[in-house]
Structure 1
Amino acid sequence: MPAPGFPTLPLAAFTDERDADTFSLRLERYGDDLLASLRAVYGDDLGDLPARLLEVLTRGFRDRPTDLRRLDEARLLRPDWLQGPEMVGYVAYADRFAGTLAGVGERLDYLEGLGVRYFHLMPLLRPREGENDGGYAVADYRAVRPDLGTMDDLAELARGLRGRGISLVLDLVLNHVAREHDWAERARVGEEKYRAYFHIHPDRTLPDLYERTLPEVFPDFAPGNFTWDDGAGGWVWTTFNAYQWDLNWGNPDVWLEFVDLILFLANQGVEVFRLDAIAFLWKRLGTACQNEPEVHHLTRALRAAARIVAPAVAFKAEAIVAPAELMGYLGRGVHHGRVSDMAYHNSLMVQLWSSLASRDTRLFAEALRAFPPKPTNTTWGVYVRCHDDIGWAISDEDAGRAGLGGAAHRHFLSDFYSGEFPGSFARGLVFQHNPQTGDRRISGSAASLAGLEAALEAGDAGRVDDAVRRLLLLHAVILGFGGVPLLYMGDELALLNDHGYADVPDHAADNRWVHRPRMDWELAERVPSEPDTPAGRVNAGLRHLIATRQSLPHLHASVESGPMPSPDHRMLLLRRDHPLGVMVQAYNFSEAEVVLPAWALREVLGAEAVDALTGSRLHLDRPTLRLEGYRALWLMAT
């Protein structure tokens, strides 16, 4: 029977009765959820939207390849597939990793050998020519960048990855399209249907009212939020860049377009969609136009639609927002666990670098303590570095509880990681300095920020050793925290800043390209035979951490990591209460040896514990425990 609110199923569209039953059952399961979310946004009278939606869903289901249908059934039997400790992610630009999609396909042995189960290829759908915000100005969602290959090449790569148990992750830019996208081009020549896909104002009246409360994302090279377009004859909403036109999600036709796009890409083999700039979708006068409640309804409706056709698909929210707002993207209240399956734990990344610079974990612990629990059916994306800059998202409230001034600490971190602070080990670049707010974000590779670049230039073996230990400590935290640890391409080889980015005209104005180097395959092939080099040590250490993680059910993402009181502010102690037993992780964020009172661990673990990272037994009935600089322990009671 059809789900309430939908017209009768077009049974002739199905090849056999079993397909019709499967589709009908899923529509019945998710239909109410889907239509309720749409009504919350667009009102009770949805007109012909349900009928048009049913047509899109039916077509997507009919076009879904047989092997992907089998994956759907497997994922329905194991809904926690994204939460297991075996999930380890790798993030790369296809061209910088291996030239083309076919070239990426030739490097799957490397990914599999590293332990990767989740592979995020950065924006590869066809962008506008020239400047395109690193690929986030999409001109065609149904085509691949010509220099990378074709959509058939993408589907072939997805099949190859799937055969090795690796999920393909792709960016889906939701907030905006390139000015050259077909929708925008048709809007510019006056087609009313497509003008309604965008926010186009005839004069500055409304833009001026909105900009009273709108922040600037790129104040250096894209100030303001509106751009005059001669062709459109109006002021177009352009949050990020003048060539990126914000979409009008208040128009249900836009929502339906993206359902169709998601199903098309899912049928090419995309398993996880990174929902880019999702926080910006809904515009409301008098607000920052971020994190509005309609965003969560819209995402929940997209997820429900995907569940009907392709339940193997998961959503990851790219919402770099405050913790109180972040939970909305995983689902709060009526949305609990029904919005996105995964979100970035940006705060964890920020606190890693903060503690490394200050040699103090009190702010880290306070920030984690303030985090509300996530839905147990969701997971975090956790990372040391990513393709983007580091913004010092440290709240004044968290800083105050740790005895710090928020503004002063943020200023310290910018100084430290740009190398301006006396004694800093870091080599980073300031990105997007905003004199009005004092905001100074940082670009730089993980190895350069951790001190390896400066240590190698100085020829100081002791400083090199510290930098290697820092890198392994940071990765130990993300691999042990719970969630999907995301390794950024080249970090497994300790690649340094690529200062040659400035010689590439398309990159010169954006110093984030300093930490987007090309993969060094010669180095990757050498490291097994060069175990004493920084790259060899980092690579071997990281592979050991990954293998250990993947052997531990205690690291299932349904369990939260919570901070424990630490007797020494240089030490971060995390506790995980898994049904198989308690796990305590201890991390020394300083280069100095720490003598830790053993009672801090004995109260939880008892008199003896085993360190999963080394296999060694620790006798906690002794008075103290010594941890050398940058040491990590993953402890379980014997």
Structure 2
Amino acid sequence: MGTAPAPVHATVEEALAGLPEHRRELFAIRLDRWWADLYAGLAAAYGDAVAAGLGERVARLAAAAYRDRDPELLRLDAARTLEPDWFQAPGMLGYAAYADRFAGDLAGVGERIPYLRELGVTYLHLMPLLRPREGENDGGYAVADYRAVRDDLGDVEGLRELATRLRRSGISLVLDLVLNHVAREHAWAAAARAGDPRYRAYFHVFPDRELPDRYEETLPEVFPDFAPGSFTWDEELQGWVWTTFNSWQWDVDWSNPDVFCEYADIVLFLANLGVEVLRLDAIAFLWKRLGTDCQNQPEVHALTQALRAMVRIACPAVAFKAEAIVGPADLVHYLGRGVHYGKVSDLAYHNGLMVHVWSMLASRDARLAAHALRALPPIPASTSWVTYLRCHDDIGWAVDDGDAAAVGVSGHQHRAYLSDWYSGAFPGSDARGLVFQHNPATGDRRISGTAASLAGLEAARERGEAGVVDLALGRLWVAYAIVLGWGGLPVVWMGDEIALANDPAWAEEEGHGDDNRWVHRPRMPWRTAYQRHNPDAVEGRAFAGLTRLARVRRSLPHLHASVPAEVLELSDPGVLPVLRRHPEGPMLGLYNVTPDWRSWPMARLHELGFVHPLDAISGSPIHESDGSVWLAPYAGWWVVGR
């Protein structure tokens, strides 16, 4: 189906009555341009019989949001339409934080904009700030009201004001949209418990254990320690409700078209507040199918395509980021494969890169990482990876058994080694991570901890040995050199820029004691942050290193996200080579992941077209010694030609 049918145009014309002709015409053009994607996504999920009427409902919602959109946001829509690759540019640098732990509240975040600009931030992800349930709320991911802000942070108008201040400072606001579940206290769930059949149909509810038991046969447990199983009996509901994550987080039923419309309206509401990127939380879990693990089902991508098409019609300045921490074979589908190529999320987390950076630093060997990263299929040129070293969550060792076997390693044993290394249990490790969610049945042991503490810097500072501190800072620096040098959109987790260590008091706050991920979610110590300008302080050295990487990155067109990262064959197992072939010339990232000097053949640089190679980070020429160039311990080079 091509352009939108006449009845749909008639519906939106009615919704747009009173707008100037040029605005009504622009909406009509967008509607025709994206109708096919909208309809196809809806039809793939709900069937043709439902898709036509549902598409008209969604178009009406889009028209109402477009009608009410702020003039400044309409201008941003126009700018982004002319620059659709804005989030792929080398000048993009992300920062992620909890608003309260970073600056107290939303107004406080606004006051810290100069700090963000000093770091070079252009993309600010504030962790869940929509109103959650009281008490335990999974760090804010148990949302009780999508249209309200946490009372301690401010209100919706304060959020709109912050988005405006950020935008005028060149920073895009990123917020979480939890798609898979709502809090038990959400109005939909409350109505379902009160007996309203409309809202009961918003959830997966079963009268007995027959179907839940059949589903459980193939469902993995996400939180086996404190939320075993995927179903919870609710006495008020008089049924078993699907609860993938916690008993008080009810999975919504996306097979119900009314649920799609509810979330479409929420997306438009947030977009009109000035949110520029929506992180689609737990997106992999949206569609349930008996006999599967109920993740990564085809309908997930169809639904995302439909939502994205709606956004392109109403508010094209907005981008989608998929929070899909899944296996490599499934990951690229969130950026588009096959019929969904380039039509789903604009951004997705490169979980594999994050895992393999830590793997390389622990093993001092790049062979497994090179094989695994090389095996990832290419992504659409219009999309981008989000690259990162740490986030708010634990680290799960997503090392594929096949990748491990290809380089002569046992996947199970390597995952166990990484857990031992980063929890400090392995002899010689200085890491200070904490084991999170040990699953004896699978041997899975995820890890919590700040980047600095996992890199051994916390232990090194306690020992007071300058050389050991230097090596730990080197590990942290080369890790971020890989993250910023991969391409895509790199995101820094709050505190990494000043090498912040684990929070020793993480368990003392109410509700945190059973979740050690709070160890790497400390409050920003602003007195310590003032040391970022002290070149002799660890904080100053870390800040200077990261800001230099960001500054150099902005100058290199090779790091535009549309340019693929190509992992070359290794010449030394301790050096990861990543080539980017840009029309202006090649760029080669060389990263020494060991504490020793390592070499790279000068002849290979010449073969790749580097006549007079230069390290763009330091600005220094690269010199040959006996046919090789030598990288210092934990050195990272972005090699360009002259």
Does the alignment reach a TM-score above 0.5? yes
Further displaced range: 434-443 or 453-462: 453-462
- In structure 2, the residue matched to 1:559 is 563
Distance 2:470 2:538 in 1: 8
Further displaced range: 168-177 or 461-470: 461-470
The alignment partner of 2:608 has SS state of helix
- Counting only pairs closer than 5 Å after superposition, residues 381-420 of structure 1 correspond to structure 2 as 381-420=386-425
Distance 2:629 2:585 in 1: 22
Distance 2:192 2:282 in 1: 22
Counterpart residue type for residue 38 of structure 1? L
Is this contact kept in 1: 2:90–2:554, CA < 8 A?
A: yes
Counterpart residue type for residue 13 of structure 2? L
Counterpart residue type for residue 273 of structure 1? L
- In structure 2, the residue matched to 1:491 is 496
Alignment equivalent of 2:228, drawn from 197, 219, 223: 223
- In structure 1, the residue matched to 2:319 is 314
- In structure 1, the residue matched to 2:135 is 130
- Counting only pairs closer than 5 Å after superposition, residues 148-297 of structure 1 correspond to structure 2 as 148-297=153-302
Is this contact kept in 1: 2:484–2:550, CA < 8 A?
A: yes
Unaligned runs of 5+ in 2: none
Is this contact kept in 2: 1:598–1:622, CA < 8 A?
A: no
Q: How big is the shift at 1:57?
A: 1.4
- In structure 2, the residue matched to 1:582 is 586
- In structure 2, the residue matched to 1:548 is 552
Q: How big is the shift at 1:527?
A: 2.1
- Counting only pairs closer than 5 Å after superposition, residues 439-478 of structure 1 correspond to structure 2 as 439-478=444-483
- In structure 2, the residue matched to 1:527 is 532
Counterpart residue type for residue 285 of structure 2? F
Distance 1:150 1:13 in 2: 28
Is this contact kept in 1: 2:610–2:640, CA < 8 A?
A: no
Distance 1:619 1:244 in 2: 58
Q: How big is the shift at 1:238?
A: 0.1
- In structure 2, the residue matched to 1:41 is 45
Distance 1:335 1:621 in 2: 50
Distance 2:123 2:361 in 1: 28
1:395-429 residue CA offsets vs partner (Å, 9 max, x unmatched) = 01111112111000000000000000000020100
Is this contact kept in 1: 2:478–2:591, CA < 8 A?
A: yes
Is this contact kept in 1: 2:3–2:33, CA < 8 A?
A: no
Is this contact kept in 1: 2:531–2:537, CA < 8 A?
A: no
Q: How big is the shift at 1:490?
A: 0.4
Q: Does 1:74 align with 2:82?
A: no
Counterpart residue type for residue 185 of structure 1? A
Tell me the number of residue pairs that the alignment of Structure 1 and Structure 2 aligns: 637
Counterpart residue type for residue 75 of structure 1? R
- In structure 2, the residue matched to 1:363 is 368
Is this contact kept in 2: 1:443–1:515, CA < 8 A?
A: yes
Evaluate the alpha carbon distance shift between residue 6 and residue 620 of structure 1 in structure 2; reply closer, same or farther with a 3 A threshold: farther
Distance 2:214 2:15 in 1: 49
Distance 2:191 2:631 in 1: 64
Q: How big is the shift at 1:597?
A: 2.7
1:349-398 residue CA offsets vs partner (Å, 9 max, x unmatched) = 00000000000000010011110000000000000100000000000111
Q: How big is the shift at 1:63?
A: 1.1
Is this contact kept in 2: 1:593–1:627, CA < 8 A?
A: yes
- In structure 2, the residue matched to 1:91 is 96
Counterpart residue type for residue 496 of structure 1? A
Q: How big is the shift at 1:11?
A: 2.7
The alignment partner of 2:245 has SS state of coil
Distance 1:135 1:315 in 2: 20
The alignment partner of 2:41 has SS state of helix
Distance 1:152 1:325 in 2: 39
- In structure 2, the residue matched to 1:625 is 629
The alignment partner of 2:90 has SS state of coil
Is this contact kept in 2: 1:6–1:54, CA < 8 A?
A: no
- In structure 2, the residue matched to 1:536 is 540
Q: How big is the shift at 1:607?
A: 3.8
Is this contact kept in 1: 2:502–2:522, CA < 8 A?
A: yes
The alignment partner of 1:267 has SS state of helix
TM-score by length of 1: 0.98
Further displaced range: 119-128 or 1-10: 1-10
Q: How big is the shift at 1:31?
A: 1.0
Question: Aligned Cα RMSD in Å?
Answer: 1.2
Q: How big is the shift at 1:12?
A: 4.3
Distance 1:606 1:581 in 2: 9
- In structure 2, the residue matched to 1:11 is 13
TM-score by length of 2: 0.98
Counterpart residue type for residue 19 of structure 1? R
Distance 2:193 2:118 in 1: 50
Distance 2:59 2:386 in 1: 33
Q: Percent identity?
A: 60
- In structure 1, the residue matched to 2:639 is 635
Distance 2:390 2:437 in 1: 18
Distance 1:6 1:434 in 2: 55
Evaluate the alpha carbon distance shift between residue 10 and residue 255 of structure 1 in structure 2; reply closer, same or farther with a 3 A threshold: closer
Is this contact kept in 1: 2:206–2:239, CA < 8 A?
A: yes
1:162-196 residue CA offsets vs partner (Å, 9 max, x unmatched) = 00111000000000000000000000111000000
Q: Does 1:436 align with 2:436?
A: no
1:416-466 residue CA offsets vs partner (Å, 9 max, x unmatched) = 000000000201000000000000000000000000111111122111111
Alignment equivalent of 2:348, drawn from 340, 343, 351: 343
1:234-290 residue CA offsets vs partner (Å, 9 max, x unmatched) = 000000000000000000100111110000000000000000000000000000000
Q: Does 1:612 align with 2:616?
A: yes
Counterpart residue type for residue 219 of structure 1? P
Counterpart residue type for residue 71 of structure 2? T
1:23-57 residue CA offsets vs partner (Å, 9 max, x unmatched) = 11111111121012101111111264233223211
1:332-355 residue CA offsets vs partner (Å, 9 max, x unmatched) = 011100000000000000000000
Distance 1:606 1:381 in 2: 29
Distance 2:12 2:546 in 1: 53
Counterpart residue type for residue 102 of structure 1? A
Q: How big is the shift at 1:628?
A: 1.0
The alignment partner of 2:481 has SS state of helix
Is this contact kept in 2: 1:96–1:519, CA < 8 A?
A: yes
Evaluate the alpha carbon distance shift between residue 208 and residue 548 of structure 1 in structure 2; reply closer, same or farther with a 3 A threshold: same
Is this contact kept in 2: 1:97–1:104, CA < 8 A?
A: yes
- In structure 2, the residue matched to 1:514 is 519
Distance 1:455 1:486 in 2: 25
The alignment partner of 1:235 has SS state of strand
Is this contact kept in 2: 1:365–1:563, CA < 8 A?
A: yes
Q: How big is the shift at 1:622?
A: 5.1
Is this contact kept in 2: 1:607–1:621, CA < 8 A?
A: no
Is this contact kept in 1: 2:506–2:518, CA < 8 A?
A: yes
Distance 1:51 1:578 in 2: 43
Distance 1:83 1:595 in 2: 32
1:529-570 residue CA offsets vs partner (Å, 9 max, x unmatched) = x21111110011111111000111110000111111122101
Q: How big is the shift at 1:595?
A: 3.0
The alignment partner of 2:622 has SS state of strand
